[in-house]
């Protein structure tokens, strides 16, 4: 795969966690709660973990 195509894929990977977190209307609610934690908080926490995974994958791609 050429360097340009790989760079495009990596930028697309970074868009995966960026778009849902910036779309506040998607998670601006309290239900469903998970272990008593409102949806607003645990949704963001899940995306922190997902972003770390995406960052690790792109790092290992060695752009």
Range of the domain at 33: 3-60
Mean pLDDT of 25-48: 92
Which tokens in the block code for residue 47?
């995306």
CA distance 27 to 31: 9
Number of domains in the chain: 1
Identify the pLDDT of residue 40.
93
Mean pLDDT of 29-49: 93
Q: What are phi and psi of 32, to 5 degrees?
A: -85, 140
Q: Are 58 and 13 in contact, with CB atoms under 8 Å apart?
A: yes
Q: Give the position of tokens 């778009």.
A: 19
Identify the pLDDT of residue 63.
57
Evaluate if residue 17 carries a pLDDT over 60.
yes
């Amino acid at each position: 795969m050429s360097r340009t195509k790989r760079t495009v894929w990596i930028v697309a990977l970074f868009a995966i966690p960026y778009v849902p977190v910036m779309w506040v209307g998607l998670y601006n609610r309290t239900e469903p709660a998970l272990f008593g934690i409102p949806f607003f908080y645990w949704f963001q926490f899940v995306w922190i973990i997902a972003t770390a995974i995406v960052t690790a994958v792109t790092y290992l791609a060695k752009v």
